[in-house]
């Protein structure tokens, strides 16, 4: 991994020609041209001087990266075909941990790291490779890493204690990870089985684990088979409202979460859902839709999180844990990055002292390898106003920042 000084590319039509040469080379450079026309990629981006700018260098020493996360230790965690890579914020590689079949990574407030992968288990005398969550600590310390535990399906699911291994368990997948303020771990799961008469939970669900790795509950009330505003079909990602950097006060205690539904065999009108916890007098804790997001005022925005058929194949979602509460989504079918407010309005509020009243769309992307293009984006994360995207087929991590946030 190259250790290169980071340059911030400023999107400004007022830059002089000489300053362009100093920062970018000459204006004949194709990447420079791409940066300067970024505001024209989306005709709905108005005013045109508000949008994302790329942060160079691009980190491109990966093989099919599928997830990226900046941890509480302020190290960058990237998952690709070679396992878990740990970098500093400048992109310098510090360590690679070999984890078979790694697909997702997250870190809790104790600086314990969780990675979805595969684990080999002998069942009835036959070796099986099953979906698993690896629990590690000291991942970025000199004497680490230390493997704490491995949560393996179906054995980590408390509802399966008396139900033996089934052939369908071979194709079940853990697909996403999220943590709460108390270090509760959410693990999204997808599979084919659902039997209302069985004590086994549906394969399409979200499991909850305490910080010791004990399965304490699941997202009861979600529909695992019929698409609606509280379904859990083919979940590809999950996000909570808690995230780095570490802080003592102002940490969200909400148990709510946001999921992506990427099942391509069903017609799913609403593929990104905000799920809320509520208490039922008879059934106890349950989970249901956030109906507030159905309010879509065209006077406030030109796009909405709950627009019908907004997404085709959303692969990852992230929620900004700061006061903005932005929701970020990457879609591998449309090759786009999307941004919404906590009210479900697409875009960002207009800058102060402007006459523009609607949210400004800053979503962007199309298929390709340019600075504002993606080829199968699979992961997105947010850290201190910076966006990180795992651009799988371009074998890179790309970073962006709103030009209104540049210092």
Query: What pLDDT digit, counting tens, does each position of 118-135 carry?
Result: 999 999 999 999 999 999
How far is residue 86's CA from residue 82's CA, in Å, rounded to a whole number? 12
Q: What is the mean pLDDT of residues 178-184?
A: 98
Give percent of the chain above pLDDT 90.
82
The pLDDT of residue 210: 98
Report the SS3 class of residue 302. Answer: coil
Backbone conformation region of residue 58, classed left if phi is above 0, alpha if psi is from -120 to 50, else beta: beta
Q: Does the pLDDT value for residue 253 go beyond 90?
A: yes
Report the pLDDT value the prediction gives residue 157, as an integer from 0 to 100.
Answer: 98
Q: Beta-carbon neighbour count of residue 226 at 10 Å?
A: 8
> In this model, does residue 35 exceed pLDDT 70?
no
| pLDDT at residue 12 tops 60 | no
Q: What is the mean pLDDT of residues 216-225?
A: 97
Q: Are 347 and 360 in contact (CB under 8 A)?
A: yes
Which of 254, 272, 242 lies closest to 339, judged by CA? Answer: 272
- Cα–Cα distance measured from residue 180 to residue 184, given in angstroms and rounded to the nearest whole number: 5
Residue 397 pLDDT more than 60?
A: yes
Model pLDDT, residue 48: 58
- Model confidence at 19, in pLDDT bands (50, 70, 90)? very low
Residues 6+ apart with CB under 8 A from 210: 183, 184, 185, 216
Q: Tokens in use for 43?
A: 């005709």
- What are the structural domains, with CATH classification, of the chain? 7-405 (2.120.10.30)
Mean pLDDT of the region 195-219: 97
Helix (H, G, I), strand (E, B) or coil at 159: helix
Residue 11 has pLDDT above 50, yes or no: no
Average of per-residue pLDDT across 350-377 = 93
The predicted-structure confidence for 275-296, as pLDDT tens digits, reads as follows 999 998 888 999 999 999 999 9
Q: What is the mean pLDDT of the chain?
A: 89
Q: What is the pLDDT of residues 298-356, one digit of tens each?
A: 999 999 999 999 999 999 999 999 999 999 999 999 999 999 999 999 999 988 877 88
**What pLDDT, on the 0 to 100 scale, is given for residue 317?**
98
Angle at 85 between CA 374 and CA 60, to 5 degrees: 35
What pLDDT score was predicted for residue 341? 98
Predicted confidence (pLDDT) per residue in 37-92, tens digit: 443 333 343 445 789 999 999 999 999 999 999 999 999 999 999 999 999 999 99
Residue 230: pLDDT above 60? yes
- Give pLDDT, residue 247: 86
């Amino acid at each position: 991994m190259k250790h290169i000084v980071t340059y911030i590319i400023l999107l400004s039509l007022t830059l002089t020609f000489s300053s362009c040469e100093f920062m970018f080379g000459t204006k004949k450079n194709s990447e420079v041209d791409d940066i300067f026309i970024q505001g024209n990629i989306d005709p709905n981006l108005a005013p045109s001087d508000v949008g994302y700018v790329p942060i160079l260098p691009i980190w491109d020493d990966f093989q099919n990266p599928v997830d990226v996360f900046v941890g509480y230790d302020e190290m960058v965690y990237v998952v690709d075909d070679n396992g878990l890579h740990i970098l500093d914020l400048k992109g310098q590689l510090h360590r690679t941990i070999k984890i078979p079949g790694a697909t997702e990574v997250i870190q809790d407030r104790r600086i314990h790291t969780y990675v979805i992968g595969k684990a080999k288990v002998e069942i009835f005398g036959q070796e099986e490779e099953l979906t698993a969550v690896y629990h590690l600590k000291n991942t970025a310390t000199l004497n680490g890493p230390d493997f704490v535990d491995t949560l393996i399906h179906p054995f980590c699911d408390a509802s399966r204690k008396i139900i033996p291994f089934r052939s369908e368990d071979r194709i079940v997948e853990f697909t996403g990870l999220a943590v709460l303020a108390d270090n509760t771990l959410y693990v999204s799961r997808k599979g084919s089985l659902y039997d209302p008469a069985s004590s086994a939970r549906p394969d399409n669900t979200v499991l909850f684990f305490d910080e010791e790795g004990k399965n304490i509950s699941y997202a009861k009330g979600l529909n695992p088979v019929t698409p609606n505003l509280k379904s859990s079909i083919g979940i590809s990602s999950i996000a909570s409202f808690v995230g780095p950097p570490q802080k003592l006060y102002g940490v969200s205690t909400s148990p709510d979460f946001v999921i992506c539904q990427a099942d391509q065999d069903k017609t799913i009108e609403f593929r990104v859902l905000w799920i809320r916890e509520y208490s039922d007098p008879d059934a106890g804790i349950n989970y249901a839709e956030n109906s507030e997001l159905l309010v879509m005022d065209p006077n406030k925005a030109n796009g909405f999180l709950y627009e019908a058929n907004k997404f085709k194949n959303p692969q990852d979602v992230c929620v900004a844990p700061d006061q903005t509460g932005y929701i970020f989504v990457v879609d591998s079918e449309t090759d786009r990055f999307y941004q919404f407010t906590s009210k479900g309005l697409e875009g960002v509020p207009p800058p102060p002292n402007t006459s523009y009243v609607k949210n400004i769309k800053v979503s962007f992307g199309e298929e390709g390898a340019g600075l504002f293009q993606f080829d199968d984006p699979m992961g997105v994360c947010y850290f201190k106003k910076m966006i990180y995207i795992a651009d799988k087929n371009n074998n890179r991590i790309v970073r962006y920042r709103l030009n209104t946030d540049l210092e």
